[in-house]
Amino acid sequence: MKKQHKVLIANRGEIAIRVARTAKALGLKTVAVYSEADRFAEHARYCDEAYFIGGAAPKDSYINVENVLAAAKKSGATLIHPGYGFLSERPHFVEACNKAGFTFVGPTAESMRVMGDKITARKTIDDLGLPRVPGSPGAVKDGREAQSFADKIGYPVLLKAAAGGGGKGMRRVDKSDEISSAFESASRESLAAFGDGAMYVEKLILEPHHVEIQVFGDGKGGAVHLGERECSIQRRHQKVWEESPAPILNVHPKTREKMFETALKITSHIQYAGAGTLEFIVDGQGSFYFLEMNTRLQVEHPVTEWVTGVDLVAWQLKLAMGELTLPKIPERRGASIEVRLYAEDPKSFLPAPGPIETVRFPSGAFVRVDTAFTESGEVSMNYDPMIAKISVWAENRADAIGRMRVALTETRVEAPQSANGEKKGSLRTNLDFLSRLCSNRDVLEGDTPTDLIATNPELVAPATAEPSAEEALALALYESLLAQTPVASTESEIVSAGSVWARVAREEGVRR
């Protein structure tokens, strides 16, 4: 008799709903977990069952292994899907799930350790003889050793946290005499953010494009790729626009095939199981270099699902249940674009959470909205301030951009208003910024290196005066406080970013 499965989704918000939707389609019962801040959250209502797991702070709930597993045991779940962020790339969580008798929907703890640590991953790439960004072979012990490596490979260089991501613990250094102080600063930030101050040195590739390859492995050495995504349009080292196929690889098609071969070689070598992503830097000449592997589902996976017709979560769940035979590489068709709608200040990109009174999203056969907001609600100060992911598909890139432009004009997310029409609360969004991207000449032409936003200030906001002294102070305080707040390396696990800003505003009297 076929085993009956129930899946607990150890996450919140849009990704919890997205996983539950596919699980229900497969006939599985779904279990949500929720924190004190999420008692009335949509993901808790959407699933068949929901269990309280602790306080609003992620350490008390969504990254509390004991509480999550207690909910899984109480619910009778057999599978645990981590989503992304929170516990999704924690090897100790995988081991705890397995020890408690649950099947973790994702790779093994060993795969996470090999590729999740940047130093170990770089060594694996070197052993395979594959291209990676030039730099130190491992962590450097101090600023003097960092300077020695940087002097050899040439400037500019990046100092990067071995255990980190999301731009934290990262410093650009242009001159030899600047590296010692930069090392101390970056190492302190990395230690505060990730509990590990180890740093390595990497050559800074000029005019880089961020390209990633979606892979899926069967855990036995078999693997397929599902094409690439370009995620070069970023602010504060975090992605805001993702698309497939990658415009830079349309210019260098031979590079695309070599990247596919490289990604599959790595995936097979580590006997990877499930969905994973190999991230690379591609320069203007078509040379590519390995950056890292994300051993989980990516935020931007919808664009891959659009162009391949594959439901990656269905593949994940079927593999975990022993019901998936790895298919051939699916044919890719058309073009897809995803943008991330955030509750954030449109000039500084700082989180701007708060209550929502009006929500309206686009609809249509070739538009997809992943969100946990279907009506009025509140963007919590305790978690990542993403409101929704909006993605579209069309036969070609130009039509996809046009479709996205229309989709954004049909989107409304508004804060409550007082009787005299004034906005109540701190909520602001990047909606206008996303719309400007759809009309930018470089974006339309597909020329989108990672410094696009920095070199096109008109994208951020219409021409305005310099930031006020209060705004400048708030930004400095925010970044200082964030560097002291323990956060994880994954994109969706920004712990209390909004509350940091709120505390700055209260303590310093800074107003938006």
How confident is the model over 395-451, as pLDDT tens digits? Answer: 999 999 999 999 999 999 999 887 776 777 789 999 999 999 999 999 999 999 999
From its phi and psi, is residue 350 left (phi > 0), alpha (psi between -120 and 50) or beta?
beta
Mean local confidence (pLDDT), 178-193: 90
CA distances from 371 to 58, 341, 374, 433, 495 (A): 20, 10, 8, 19, 19
Residue length of the chain: 512
> Is the predicted pLDDT of residue 510 greater than 50, yes or no?
no
DSSP string, 70-132: HHHHHHT-SEEE--SSTTTT-HHHHHHHHHTTPEESS--HHHHHHHHSHHHHHHHHHHTT--B
> Is the predicted pLDDT of residue 48 greater than 60, yes or no?
yes
Among 129-133, 269-273, 507-511, top mean pLDDT goes to 269-273
- Give 409 or 374, the one with higher predicted confidence: 409
Instruction: Give the helix ranges, DSSP H, for 293-361.
Output: 301-308, 312-320
Mean local confidence (pLDDT), 335-342: 98
Average pLDDT, the chain: 88
- Lowest average pLDDT, out of 50-59, 173-182, 365-374, 481-490, goes to 481-490
pLDDT at 463: 46
* pTM for the model: 0.85
CA distances from 127 to 121, 185, 199, 270, 377 (A): 10, 31, 21, 12, 50
Over residues 485-508, the pLDDT tens digits come to: 433 333 333 333 334 444 444 443
pLDDT at 183: 94
- Residue whose token pair is 């946990």: 372
- Lowest average pLDDT, out of 40-54, 380-394, 489-503, goes to 489-503
To the query of whether residue 256 is one of the catalytic residues in this protein, the response is: no
Percent of the chain, pLDDT > 70?
88
Over residues 233-290, the pLDDT tens digits come to: 998 778 999 999 999 999 999 999 999 999 999 999 999 999 999 999 999 899 999 9
Sequence-separated (6 or more) residues with CB below 8 Å from residue 187: 169, 197, 198, 199
Helix axes 118-127, 109-116, angle to 10 degrees: 90
Among 130-139, 180-189, 302-311, top mean pLDDT goes to 302-311
Alpha-carbon gap, residue 338 to 401, rounded angstroms: 10
> Is the predicted pLDDT of residue 16 greater than 60, yes or no?
yes
pLDDT at 117: 79
pLDDT at 470: 52
pLDDT at 50: 98
> Is the predicted pLDDT of residue 304 greater than 90, yes or no?
yes
pLDDT at 321: 97
Mean local confidence (pLDDT), 463-473: 51
Q: Active-site residue among 12, 90, 122, 296?
A: 296
- Residue whose token pair is 């990658």: 246
Determine how many CB atoms are found less than 10 A away from the CB of residue 177.
8
